[in-house]
Amino acid sequence: MQRLAFAFAFAAIAPATAAWAVSDDMTVAEPGFQTDIASPIARQALVPAAPVRVAALAAPAPVVAEAEDEAEPIGAGNASWYGARFAGRPTASGERFNPGGFTAAHRTLPFGSKVKVTSQRTGQSIVVRINDRGPFHGNRLIDLSEAAADAIGIKARGQDRVALTLVSD
């Protein structure tokens, strides 16, 4: 009974990418762990229904903002950007930072919010998704990913004045 309880506890904390193998003698095996499970119901609980795939950090196609039907201006201020130095590190939302993605950090907007960022100098716009918190220094309003900053022409300057508009999907 203790072994069965341990097997269920282990299954609950096993990584989503772990591959479980079940042999004909009702033994559940995972690298570095082996136990006998007598109940077919218990065995089914340990076998994932479908393999889990982990997405690579691929750069999505740029989403340049067109006229939005339902958009709400939320302010103007300075924007900066952050890039390769933080690649792969977890963001405040829990996802890994991808400098090639069109994401941004904002102090208060909910994660997943879509924001149209328009450079007041170049007039170019991009829609980014909020997935991180910040910026926490200077008088900056938003931190863009490297790709988003490049798309609206502020990467070379380091920071620039932008207008933000909350976009509803």
List per-residue pLDDT tens for the chain, 169 residues long.
Answer: 444 444 444 444 444 433 333 334 444 444 443 444 444 444 444 444 444 444 444 444 454 444 445 678 999 999 999 988 999 999 999 999 999 999 999 999 999 999 999 999 999 999 999 999 999 888 899 999 999 999 999 998 999 999 999 998 6
Integer Cα distance of 77 and 166 in angstroms: 14
Integer Cα distance of 15 and 64 in angstroms: 36
**Can you give the residue range of the structural domain that contains 84?**
71-167
57 domain-assigned = no
Q: Whole-model pTM?
A: 0.59
115 domain-assigned = yes
State residue 125's pLDDT score: 96
Residues 109 and 145 in one domain: yes
